[in-house]
Amino acid sequence: MTISIGHRSLHIASPSNLLLWLIAAFHMLLAATLIAALFSVSPAAAADEDACTGHNILTDLKQSDAARYAEVVKEADAVPNGKGIFWKIEKAGIAPSWLLGSMHVTDPRVLTLPPRTQAAHDAADTIVIESDEILDEKKASAALLMKPELMMFTDGTTIEQLLSHDDYVRLEEGLKQRGIPLAAVSRMRPWMISSVVALPGCEMARKAKGVQFLDQKIAADAVAGGKQVKGLETLAEQLQAMAELPTEFHMKSLIETLALGSKMNDVVETMTDLYLSGDIGMTIPMLKTVSPDGEDEDGDYAAFEQRIILDRNKVMAERAAPILANGNVFMAVGALHLPGEGGVIELLRKQGFTVTAVN
């Protein structure tokens, strides 16, 4: 597949080689919500909740290709701290704190915290999330509109100029299913548009109805309980991270997402199942299997991982440390920020905290 951007052409080896971009859809807290809010997407126009019809990719893989499935499991097992989404944080002389890996969706299965996790949230003095600005979406939207270059092309470029006719038609139809006219987002950066197209229609429908995603619910419940809520990043910082990646990267990701079509529902369903089972380390190996040859473009993914995950992990760990020093904190950040040698868990350990998984 080849796309043209200005006078440059880019070859895409196969759909989903850059599907790892989907990680960003669950890490950039307000991307899809912002579009829904800015353009007044109605619940009726978005999609029926029954549209969540995905199937678990790994279940099918285990039955159809046991050897490939075994490779996925082996790769996942090698990921440090790849098992578990709930962790206890301890240091001598202070009350223990808790760390939850979250998933930024409105799925009822995700919103229902396990009893021990809910108890830790309820007993905590301070709640920490990625950005406390998500507590007021309208205020957050207004603030971000003051920096349009983070979300939109400011040089007159439109998405139509960057897409082939067929891909443009696919995008128009995908947005139409979510109640968003393409003309309304034509000047938005491709990753903003991808954040909407990548999510199942049922997810957008729940967002349009005002259902909070997990991090919002955690924060809102904390405020209702009189607790202090603190954020580790600003939304502008999160959007800046995405905006710094090349337009070519985002265009490839958008086109591949469109090419996958309804299979995106399967990807999201599988990610959700892995999250609920605590098998976070298997997420990236699973995403690679969506491509027929199981490959990904190393250079693109390395840049993405560094800027969107690893750099932000460092910021989160550094800013969380003084808060955790007070003890009795409940901290929730995207689950994919937890595992790996450069994950938040290892970074907190380097700061002298003992971090252990809680079953």
Q: Given pLDDT bands bounded at 50, 70 and 90, which one contains residue 22?
A: low
42-58 burial, b for 16+ CB within 10 Å, e for fewer? ebebbbebebbebebbb
Model pLDDT, residue 174: 78
Q: Given pLDDT bands bounded at 50, 70 and 90, which one contains residue 208?
A: confident
Q: Identity (one letter) of the amino acid at 108?
A: P
Backbone angles phi, psi at 342, to 5 degrees: -105, 15
Most confidently predicted of 14-28, 140-154, 332-346: 332-346
**CB hemisphere CA count around 279 (13 angstroms):** 18
- Least confident range from 50-54, 158-162, 200-204: namely 50-54
Average pLDDT, the chain: 82
Global pTM value: 0.86
Q: What interhelical angle do 31-38 and 201-208 show, nearest 10? A: 60
Q: Given pLDDT bands bounded at 50, 70 and 90, which one contains residue 39?
A: low
Q: Given pLDDT bands bounded at 50, 70 and 90, which one contains residue 18?
A: very low
Which residues on adjacent β-strands are paired with residue 101?
333
Residue 332 CA, distance from chain mean position: 13
For CA atoms 111, 312, 202, 222, give the dihedral sign: positive
Model pLDDT, residue 10: 34
Give residue-wise pLDDT tens across range 52-106.
Answer: 778 999 999 999 999 999 999 999 999 999 999 999 999 999 999 999 999 988 8
Rounded to whole angstroms, how far apart are CA atoms 298 and 12? 13
Express as a percent the part of the chain with pLDDT over 90.
44
- The 3-class secondary structure across the chain, one letter per residue, is CEEEECCEEEECCCCCCCHHHHHHHCCCCCHHHHHHHHCCCCHHHHCCHHHCCCCCHHHHHHHHCHHHHHHHHHHHHCCCCCCCCEEEEECCCCCCEEEEEECCCCCHHHHCCCHHHHHHHHHCCEEEECCHHHHCHHHHHHHHHCCHHHCECCCCCCHHHHCCHHHHHHHHHHHHCCCCCHHHHCCECHHHHHHHHCCCHHHHHHHHCCCCCHHHHHHHHHHHCCCEEEECCCHHHHHHHHHCCCHHHHHHHHHHHHHHCCHHHHHHHHHHHHHHHCCHHHHHHHHHHCCCCCCCCHHHHHHHHHHHHHHHHHHHHHHHHHHHCCCCEEEEEEHHHCCCCCCHHHHHHHCCCEEEECC
- Other Cβ atoms less than 10 A from the Cβ of 166: the count is 11
pLDDT over 80 (residue 285): yes
- Least confident range from 4-13, 31-40, 298-307: namely 4-13
Model pLDDT, residue 297: 56
Q: Identity (one letter) of the amino acid at 288?
A: K
Rounded to whole angstroms, how far apart are CA atoms 46 and 32? 12
pLDDT over 70 (residue 239): yes
Q: Given pLDDT bands bounded at 50, 70 and 90, which one contains residue 326?
A: very high
Higher-confidence position of 50 and 93? 93
Higher-confidence position of 172 and 138? 172
Give residue-wise pLDDT tens across range 174-193.
Answer: 778 777 788 888 888 888 88
pLDDT over 80 (residue 257): no
Express as a percent the part of the chain with pLDDT over 70.
82
Q: Given pLDDT bands bounded at 50, 70 and 90, which one contains residue 242?
A: confident
The whole domain housing 80 covers 2-357
Model pLDDT, residue 182: 85
pLDDT over 60 (residue 135): yes
- Least confident range from 3-7, 78-82, 281-285: namely 3-7
Model pLDDT, residue 36: 54
What's the domain count of the chain? 1
